[in-house]
């Protein structure tokens, strides 16, 4: 018989990781952001994340933790500026240089952007989900797609019936959308990032999505 409690714990843990990645990229670095990433809770979360069996995830965690461990003796204002500039470079100013901004439509060569956005929106509508950044950004923005996966994981954890249907949607969305392009963005953005924090996050993101897709193969 299926171990429902175990499956619920796994779904919640996966949802927490998607949520962590969404928040880490979508939030502007400020005092609250610094306090959050340097908190004991964050250290505990990264220690748990370290247990995932993926080289990129482990390497990314090491880079992020090395950066965070150096913050104790640094000026928070300077660190906030450094992180803010790096985040803008990777996400909002990416299209101005060689790095393409993190929108699926900019990374799929065989499909036009309009078709991709329509397909993504169909997934959201099908599940009745409005992802966190959907109202302020394009449906194919990477944080929007990450938050959609987070909400699917939470739905999976709460599901009594139709669990296989939710898992099918997760697999389809990863293979057709998020997992089909995010690795290309992370690899390119990793070469552009200047801080160990965002370099590490990009590796964690890339490795975690690869790990997610491997579970379904």
pLDDT digits (tens, 9 = 90+) for 84-98: 999 999 998 766 678
Residue 2 has a pLDDT of 56
Mean pLDDT on 89-111: 85
Report CA-CA distances (Å) from 73 to 2, 30, 42, 68: 49, 17, 18, 10
The total number of structural domains in the chain stands at 1
Mean pLDDT on 36-61: 93
Residue 188 has a pLDDT of 95
Residue 135 has a pLDDT of 62
Q: CA 217 to CA 209: how far, in whole Å? A: 13
Residue 215 has a pLDDT of 80
pLDDT band at 177 (very low <50, low <70, confident <90, very high): very high
Strand, helix or coil for residue 109: coil
pLDDT band at 153 (very low <50, low <70, confident <90, very high): very high
Residue 164 scores a pLDDT above 80: no
CATH number of 89's domain = 1.10.3480.10
Residue 174 scores a pLDDT above 50: yes
- The more confident residue out of 70 and 214 is 214
Two tokens, residue 125:
């509508």
Residue 72 scores a pLDDT above 70: no
Mean pLDDT on 122-141: 87
Residue 162 has a pLDDT of 60
Residue 74 scores a pLDDT above 60: no
Residue 148 has a pLDDT of 96
pLDDT band at 25 (very low <50, low <70, confident <90, very high): very high
Residue 1 has a pLDDT of 44
Mean pLDDT on 3-28: 91
Mean pLDDT on 123-130: 93
Domain ranges, residue 179: 4-215
Torsion angle of the four alpha carbons 181, 182, 185, 187, in this order, in degrees rounded to the nearest 10: -110
- The more confident residue out of 72 and 209 is 209
Residue 110 has a pLDDT of 85
CA-closest candidate to residue 202, choices 2, 6, 61: 61
Residue 70 has a pLDDT of 79
DSSP code of residue 92: I
């Amino acid at each position: 018989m299926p171990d429902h409690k175990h499956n619920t714990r796994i779904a919640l843990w996966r949802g927490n990781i998607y949520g962590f990645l969404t928040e880490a990229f979508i939030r502007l670095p400020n005092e609250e952001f610094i306090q959050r990433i340097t908190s004991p809770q964050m250290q505990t979360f990264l220690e748990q994340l370290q247990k995932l069996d993926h080289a990129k995830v482990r390497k990314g965690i090491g880079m992020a933790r090395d950066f965070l461990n150096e913050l104790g003796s640094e000026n928070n204002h300077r660190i906030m500026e450094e992180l803010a500039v790096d985040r803008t470079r990777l996400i909002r100013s990416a299209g101005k240089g060689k790095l393409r901004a993190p929108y699926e439509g900019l990374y799929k060569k065989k499909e036009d952007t309009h078709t991709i956005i329509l397909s993504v929106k169909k997934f959201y509508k099908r599940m009745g989900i409005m992802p966190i950044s959907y109202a302020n950004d394009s449906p194919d923005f990477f944080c929007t797609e990450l938050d959609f996966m987070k909400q699917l994981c939470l739905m999976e954890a709460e599901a009594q019936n139709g669990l296989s249907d939710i898992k099918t949607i997760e697999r389809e969305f990863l293979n057709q959308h998020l997992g089909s392009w995010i690795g290309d963005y992370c690899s390119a953005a990793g070469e552009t990032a200047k801080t160990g924090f965002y370099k590490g996050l990009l590796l964690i993101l890339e490795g975690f999505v690869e790990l997610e897709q491997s579970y379904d193969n």
